[in-house]
């Protein structure tokens, strides 16, 4: 299955179906998945976690509870693609649940895990292959509407763990973003249950390649 098909199939199902698919995809990559159950606001959530190596680990996270391609099933596909690469240091892959309602999956993970070196969070990804660091963005202005930016990286940062929040953009919009302008075309897809349009296998592979360099350098 190519990366675009993976996002399409993730989009066709619900949280429970996605959890099962992620478990299967993790097994296919030679990892042993672990399901972490937690409760938040009366809802049961399920993180899916897999790791390689021993000791203080870099945690690569991508939430799977959003119903959109860009936010964040493209990000899930990128994290799964990253699992196909070799690592010479401890890395954990966290497919987090209930991010949209308050980063509950990430919070539950942090509470249960001790040996965390840092976090690389992928959220808002799969459209375009340029990686942009959105860690320092707190609010976005969409006309009169102000949107407060929070992601799983925020949950790590609040516990004093070095955390980065990465997104992807098509190169023209990445340029616009680096010049200080909101890349409206792509970012207006966030929380809009957008589909697979604009997502390509090539973009996901390239984005994973770019992130791989970042993770190895962390």
Instruction: Give the residue among 29, 32, 28, 107 at the shortest CA–CA distance from 63.
Output: 107
Nearer to Zn ion, 47 or 72 (CB): 72
Nearest approach, Cβ of residue 124 and Zn ion (Å): 6
Using CB under 5 A as the binding rule, whether residue 173 contacts Zn ion is answered as no
Residue list 104-133, contact with Zn ion (CB under 5 A): 123
Q: Distance between CA atoms of 190 and 10, rounded to whole angstroms?
A: 17
Nearer to Zn ion, 67 or 71 (CB): 71
Nearer to Zn ion, 45 or 66 (CB): 66
Residues 60 and 31 sit within 8 Å (Cβ to Cβ): no
Using CB under 5 A as the binding rule, whether residue 72 contacts Zn ion is answered as yes
Using CB under 5 A as the binding rule, whether residue 194 contacts Zn ion is answered as no
Residues 38 and 99 sit within 8 Å (Cβ to Cβ): no
Q: Distance between CA atoms of 104 and 120, rounded to whole angstroms?
A: 17
What is the x/- site pattern for Zn ion, positions 41-70, by CB under 5 A? -------------------------x----
When binding is defined by CB under 5 A, the residue of 71, 97, 152, 173 that contacts Zn ion is 71
Instruction: Give the residue among 150, 18, 32 at the shortest CA–CA distance from 92.
Output: 32
Both tokens of 28, joined, read 């296919």
Give me the residues that bind Zn ion (CB under 5 A), please.
Answer: 66, 71-72, 123
């Amino acid at each position: 299955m190519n990366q675009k098909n993976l996002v399409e199939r993730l989009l066709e199902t619900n949280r429970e179906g996605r959890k099962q698919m992620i478990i299967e995809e993790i097994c296919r990559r030679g990892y042993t998945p672990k399901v972490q159950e937690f409760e938040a606001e009366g809802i049961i959530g399920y993180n899916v976690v897999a790791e390689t190596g021993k000791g203080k680990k870099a945690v690569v996270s991508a939430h799977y509870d959003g119903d959109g391609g860009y936010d964040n099933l493209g990000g899930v596909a990128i994290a799964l693609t990253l699992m196909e690469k070799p690592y010479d240091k401890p890395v954990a892959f966290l497919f987090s649940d209930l991010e949209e309602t308050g980063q509950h999956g990430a919070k539950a993970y942090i509470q249960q895990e001790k040996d965390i070196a840092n976090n690389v969070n992928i959220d808002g990804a799969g459209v375009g292959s340029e990686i942009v660091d959105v860690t320092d963005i707190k609010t976005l202005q969409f006309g009169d509407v102000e949107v407060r930016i929070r992601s799983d990286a925020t949950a790590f940062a609040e516990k004093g763990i070095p955390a980065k929040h990465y997104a992807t953009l098509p190169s023209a919009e990445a340029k616009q973003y680096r010049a200080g302008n909101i890349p409206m075309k792509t970012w207006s897809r966030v929380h809009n249950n957008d589909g697979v349009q604009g997502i390509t296998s090539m973009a996901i592979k390239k984005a994973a390649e770019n992130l791989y360099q970042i993770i190895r350098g962390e």
